[in-house]
A and B are shown apart, each in its own frame.
Chain A
């Protein structure tokens, strides 16, 4: 390896594995490592993985770009290991955090209901005098003494992080800003999260919830990034180009994570990297439409990409709490390799939601798991090679898989082991397909002409069956399905989102007022970019309006791209209105052009390009049957429970561009297995994607 080679590194920390992708900037070549995650201190796993590259000859100093996906904040939330938060609210409104939305989640028949544990209980909450109205007029001044008292009391009670959420602060943030000054006067080291900065949006409960999440997790993230920074320095990874993946599909520099206020953007960021990779790397397919199927050990994440971009939402739920920042629109079902098959009280065969996880894992892992999981079914049917799982790093115990299937499913239901295994697969595959159908219907999307893009360890094992059920005829299996999310980390820009709520009928919003709101947001964005050491001259601003028909409960996001280039004017505002009607018709099936529209919020997204993975130009190729040396034998595979089909096995790394193989066939590789049943043809394209197409 030449000394002068430069590299970019993407590191995605998952629950069980940490995936690393090392890109050679000059050649475009990619190397992949997979190491065990170290949940107690995730930085250790990151450094382990880097160590593997170093051992193979990559000098750490040659890494010029480091992009990181982490579940550190999500895990801290799930395990309730966040900071001790003190909460300041407007006097008289203690019920907001108790009532929440007032609706219950979970099983509607279970009256022994519990709300999620509060991030700041009432005893850590103080009421502060001061009130502004819906237009931002001050009705009562901020009670500064009350703030000082509250800070002293909460500090004495152990608070290290403060959340501040006053009513209507999105119309007038002065009380919250002054409160921060008072907190920092008393406690210069305190972490402070203001709702007017974290989520300056109308609706007090989602704003409070989002602000609390930020306050609860910010110290965790700051500590982790600080630690990782030191470890990277120690490990000789000198680059300052260090970035963190966010839920909005972009990255932020480590400096932004340390500065605070954006911690909540790291929740839910895991699936965003895979979707970014799909949109970026499968460009043509992304224009036509992609369904992503990220099937791992415990669950399957499904997302849509349309017109080149993943669909987004502005309200998600994380650990049962509302989070109001933009995130990838995805649906998750409990269908993974570890999902356990069981028989319910009515005698029906069910799969999931319980998962065997990584430990003990499916029965075939041989770690003492006695319940049959989806992976056991895949082994019993011959889809997976017991001797070549994770590139041979782990062997699977086929006898244990069959025993679990026999004892827990086949025996009680009077089936053969293969029938039980085929039944489990059928139930899981149909559920994934049904979920895609319902999700598509909800989003006004018709996925039939879409490409199915499976990734995660198990996605390509199940993709053809899911596609058949959906009528999808094209599947794109990326070169490294098991490390696809890590690769996605090298495919993103820096993205920051800003919002300001101001409820007013659209026809009462003077265009120059709208322009000034955006200008103020742009000023703030530029200032933050400068603090992060990024060049705001290289940034692109995207404006959006949240609008709704008067009387509606919820608004839609409408992009203003191409409107009002020289400043918003009446024509641009009219065009925005038309876009809203069109958008509404698409999402909700009808529009009411005669009804007045109101603006709820102004959104600004700033995008700063950072170096990205550019795939090497597609190889020239001519279609030809797969070379003989790519075939590595045959195995009995039960595509249906009754018949074993002797099926050719291929080694993915030995399939050159242009190689064509007809199903039934199994393609094995280090990090995944692709199943091509009869009727499907697989071919390798110039980007080394494996393209499965349905004949006829």
Chain B
């Protein structure tokens, strides 16, 4: 039976230099794992979007250094925790690789995100795990591509894999692979990506074993502990400096994709008392019928992201921080859904929750207060007559929005916000590959909420269809715009507008599915960021600059700011 790290852990006083050397080496290793995976990945999701993460964990599944896609980082303790519940220590062996895509058992964001975790053993001692999570092109479920805006059960979202061994003692299970591929509409892509992902995960094991052999397993374990407790101490010191108090904030999403008239409520109460900080989500709305529910792993990502942003963005995130923060949930709420509640559209829920948490935290760190931001959304066009020759008929884009204004800081305009950070597709690429014309890509004036510090402005993008197209839009913020704070105005709501052949316009919901024909078109306007503070206090020079730069019209400057040249 292998010793656990805990049993072997002694007061190994690892020196400060070795700790830093190992911290840097783990960061480099994680970087190398990402690249290795990116290079060998098969689908465009891996190669181009890079929708994946690789990590190194300690023996309890605690994250040592955060991946670029930060919100995957909070998944792993849940995943490894479940493995340690299911498997006795002697059943976790060198060469094993566990797989799961189960939001309820492994805490992954949604079923499309498949996670792999492999134990790292040095001379029979478990010193940690190597892990990875990556979006799969198709894992079954109701819709092609598996993601959904209108699923009502987790079973609609793809084949569920609880944590099981995909490799045992180095032996790859072709049976499990066949089972997965039999449930996928894209078996070749999924096979290639699974194999690349396992290779990257195993690379982490091999490299860590080399470090273990070189520095000693005890030294690696001791350094991990020191790195984790260092982050905990950093955060603890920052919390100690916060004033005691209680702060509550609430916000809403337009709807859950099923009940069109029912807004989805997110609520948090933050309590700071001395060294302790607690986030209580009990007042959030009941779990939704549609796929906007969150698992606690995602709520934690939102909390740590917001807390680090509010306290000091140079804090080092790792799972040591968990020892310092308390989470409270009520059962069957949108922030603590129970199976089989659907979770596929989790990201727009994450981004609303971040706004709410930041609003509550502003009470404690007013110098980092920020108004609501514009979230992210996607556009899919399935070209019904096959698209342009030589190219796929599936056009898929992800759009940024704008940040809210903050204490002493205007919100950035037309940029990916908070947890989201993906690239836009160039117009010249889109028109070259798809039968569309993008006839406008402009600024929406007055879209940033008025305030002493203005919300960021949003963009408008207009499409003309040269073939028939099935258009799927997934977004939010049409009924509940980005909220202003401290007297600032809300940002301008988002719009999705269909345009018929005669140029007649029709506003439709922010999320939906539309069958259009050649010659028709549509345009979308992203939500602007909320404003911060009383608009009448805005620096007149800043208003004059906003007018000159086209962010604010002269009429709105007069109306919202009382400004006249």
Contacts and interface: CB of A to CB of B under 8 A. Distances in A.
B403 A111 contact: yes
B370 A112 contact: yes
Contact of A438 (B35, B370, B373, B418): B35
A92 B440 contact: yes
Contact of A103 (B39, B416, B428, B549): B416
Given A98-B413, A134-B431, A204 B25 contact: no
Nearest to B238: A345
B28 A438 contact: yes
B305 interface: yes
B316 A346 contact: yes
B308 A114 contact: no
B314 A107 contact: yes
Interface of B: 15-17, 19-21, 23-25, 28, 31-32, 35-36, 39-40, 42, 44, 47-48, 68, 70, 227, 230-231, 233-234, 237, 305, 308-309, 313-317, 358, 368, 370, 373, 389-392, 399-400, 403, 406, 409, 412-418, 421-424, 426-429, 431-433, 437, 439-443, 457, 459-461, 548-550
B415 A102 contact: yes
10 contacts: A96-B427, A96-B441, A99-B424, A99-B441, A109-B317, A113-B412, A134-B432, A168-B428, A345-B233, A426-B17
Contact of B44 (A104, A553, A596): A553
A133 interface: yes
B390 A505 contact: yes
Nearest to A350: B20
A12 B414 CA distance: 40
A95 B20 contact: no
Nearest to A135: B432
B554 to A, nearest CB: 14
Contact of B441 (A95, A103, A121): A95
Contact of A115 (B17, B35, B230, B415): B415
A113 B416 CA distance: 10
Given A104-B421, A349-B16, A505-B390, A203 B233 contact: no
B234 A430 contact: no
B112 to A, nearest CB: 19
Interface string A565-579: 000000000000000
Contacts of B392: 551
Contacts of A103: 400, 415-416, 421-423
A431 interface: yes
Contacts of A168: 428, 431
B421 A552 contact: no
A121 B549 CA distance: 7
Nearest to A550: B390
A598 B21 contact: no
A188 interface: no
A413 B17 CA distance: 10
Nearest to A98: B414
B428 A111 contact: no
Contacts of B429: 202-203
Interface string A115-133: 1000001110000000001
Contacts of A444: 39
A434 interface: yes
Contacts of A419: 17
Contacts of B416: 102-104
B233 to A, nearest CB: 6
A422 B35 CA distance: 32
Contacts of B441: 92-96, 99
A437 B28 contact: yes
Contacts of B317: 109
B39 A589 contact: yes
A635 B48 CA distance: 55
A231 interface: no
A102 B402 CA distance: 10
A426 to B, nearest CB: 6
Contacts, number: 199
A111 B550 contact: no
Given A122-B549, A553-B48, A115 B432 contact: no
B414 A348 contact: no
A349 B414 contact: no
B230 A348 contact: yes
Given A103-B423, A108-B70, A427-B17, A552 B40 contact: no
Which residue, A102, A437, A508, has most C-beta atoms of chain B within 10 A?
Answer: A102
Given A204-B428, A423-B16, A111 B417 contact: yes
Given A94-B550, A121-B549, A346-B233, A108 B421 contact: yes
Contacts of B461: 95
Given A103-B421, A553-B44, A109 B313 contact: yes
Contact of A588 (B39, B418, B427, B432): B39
A590 interface: yes
Contact of B230 (A205, A346, A441): A346
Contact of A107 (B23, B313, B368, B548): B313
B406 A104 contact: no
Which residue, A94, A109, A423, A442, has most C-beta atoms of chain B within 10 A?
Answer: A109
A189 B101 CA distance: 64
Which residue, B237, B399, B417, B423, has most C-beta atoms of chain A within 10 A?
Answer: B423
A616 interface: no
B55 to A, nearest CB: 15
B190 to A, nearest CB: 15
Contacts of B428: 134, 167-168, 202-204
A542 interface: no
Interface string A415-432: 100010011001100110
Which residue, B68, B317, B428, B548, has most C-beta atoms of chain A within 10 A?
Answer: B428
Contact of A589 (B32, B40, B48, B459): B40
A521 to B, nearest CB: 20
B436 to A, nearest CB: 11
A508 to B, nearest CB: 8
A102 B423 contact: yes
Interface in A576-595: 587-590
Contacts of B417: 111
Given A107-B313, A347-B233, A552-B48, 9 more contacts: A93-B442, A109-B308, A111-B373, A111-B418, A123-B549, A348-B19, A349-B16, A419-B17, A438-B32
A614 to B, nearest CB: 40
A598 B427 contact: no
Contacts of B42: 590
Contact of A441 (B25, B36, B48, B422): B36
Nearest to A133: B431
Contact of A109 (B15, B233, B305, B412): B305
Contacts of B413: 98
A551 B391 contact: yes
Nearest to B320: A346
Contact of B20 (A415, A427, A435): A427
A648 to B, nearest CB: 28
Contacts of B308: 109
Nearest to A121: B549
Contact of B439 (A92, A109, A423): A92
Contact of B24 (A114, A204, A434, A553): A434
A133 B434 CA distance: 12
Interface in A463-517: 503, 505, 508
B424 A345 contact: no
A101 interface: yes
A498 to B, nearest CB: 19
A110 interface: yes
Contacts of B23: 348
A127 to B, nearest CB: 9
B220 to A, nearest CB: 15
B25 A413 contact: no
Nearest to B392: A551
Interface string A346-387: 111110000000000000000000000000000000000000
